[in-house]
A and B are shown apart, each in its own frame.
Chain A
Amino acid sequence: MNNLLRFLVGVRVLLLFIILEIIALTLFTTNSYYQQSVVINKLHAVRGIVHEQVSELTQYLNLRETNTTLAIENTILHNELVHYRLERHATAGTVTGPAGTPLFNYIPATITDNSVNKQHNYIMLDVGAIHHVAPDMGVVTEYGVIGIVMAVTEHYAIVKSLLHTDWRCNVRLVQAGDFGPLQWDGVIYNEAVLHDIPQHSNVQLGDTVVTSGYSSIFPPNIPVGVVKSYEIKRGNFYEIRIRLFADFKKIRYVNVVSFLYRDEVKALNELRDEY
């Protein structure tokens, strides 16, 4: 009898362990977008407040560096403005929509939470639905692609970072002209891997990689990084290591990209999926 009781007590612990473990693993493996947006975002609204306080402090400590970055960004934008003014006639209709409204609009945002040391990194922004930020919008800086908006609350947005091993971004090699998916392999925070470039392609060290523009998420020709090394792996495709321009440890100010005909493209894609 005594032995039986002792056995039951032991099994009781094991049972609880198994039940809790099953709950945890179920939550882990069914981490769907829906769950993320419904459950976590409620909590993120609270978390956002805490992080904003911390962020405000560190922001102050980093003022000098931030100012330098802003100055550089200013210059780059000025240059680009001049460039576009010169090119206006040649490109009218491709970078602008009707009556000169730009096809891509930029919504400035500040990062309130960021990480680089996990396999699935996320970034939190201080803009949300009231700033017209919506899921599936791209996030960029002058140094390249940062990520894609996953879900939004009223005042905050969660961004799937480029440093997220499940996410791929379509990019193009400038000189070789080929395009393929860029994906982080979870190893070094400033390097990612470009796949599916065919063996006959003229890949060169130092070639620049830019966004391909084959989507309504990112505008074309945003610089992403340079070719650091390449090798042929598994058949006829190059595996190219890209050194990213963006320093994910230091980014603070980003732009959310909103595409003018976003709803139209989305509706069209949904139509395609129906057939």
Chain B
Amino acid sequence: MNINFLRLLFYFILLILLQDIVIDKLPLSTYIRPEIYTIFILLLPFNYPAIATLVWAFALGLGIDIFSADVIGLHTAALLVLAYVRPRLLRRVSPKDDMDSIAIPSYHNLGLRSFIIYTILSIALYNTVLFILDTFSFHNFLHLLIRILFSTLATTLFILLIQFAFISKRR
């Protein structure tokens, strides 16, 4: 229990630093922003308590807001929506009943197809909330759509890469 918490805390800090120091420094356009920290919420175990998921999402959002965004509350609000919807999404994509409670929804537990659907739906939802709040208007609707689309694809790609790279490791 305690070990699990410490391990999560380690990934928590690692992902925030990685996003701030490496990913945000990549020379990408305004349209693309891979949000690798979302993998933290995506890969929490299947039966992780909903309350704890929300608290983690709140903390992670604040961490990202403070460390790499300078707009307090923005990523927090979006991550909370993702955390709240996550169990419902997981119920849709996971195979019925045969999941043990500490397993994580990784691609070899879900199957590649289900995992990609799960990731894309989650990240698209997250990005939609995030960018609408960030832009705070529908004035440039086309740019908003492109930004959501590209960032979702980039994030999904990065999450898949991380999955392939650390396939043997369990979170």
Contact = CB atoms under 8 A, between A and B. Distances in A.
Interface string B132-168: 0111000010010000000000000000000000000
Contacts of B30: 116-118, 186-189
Given A20-B54, A115-B24, A187-B143, A25 B134 contact: no
Which of B24, B57, B67, B70 is the most central at the interface, judged by chain A CB atoms within 10 Å of its CB? Answer: B70
Contacts of A39: 72
Interface of A is mostly: helix
A54 B69 CA distance: 17
What's the dominant secondary structure at chain B's contact region?
Answer: helix
A158 B69 CA distance: 13
Interface residues on A, range: 35 or more
B134 A24 contact: no
A21 B77 contact: yes
B21 interface: yes
Nearest to A43: B66
A72 interface: no
Contacts, number: 94
Of listed B29, B58, B77, B133, residue having the most chain A CB within 10 A: B77
How many of chain B's residues touch chain A, expressed as a range?
35 or more
A28 B71 contact: yes
Given A117-B33, A185-B140, A187-B30, A20 B80 contact: yes
Interface of B: 21, 24-25, 27-30, 32-33, 50-51, 54-55, 57-58, 61, 66-74, 76-77, 80-81, 83-84, 133-135, 140, 143
8 contacts: A13-B51, A16-B55, A17-B54, A27-B76, A117-B29, A120-B71, A165-B135, A187-B143
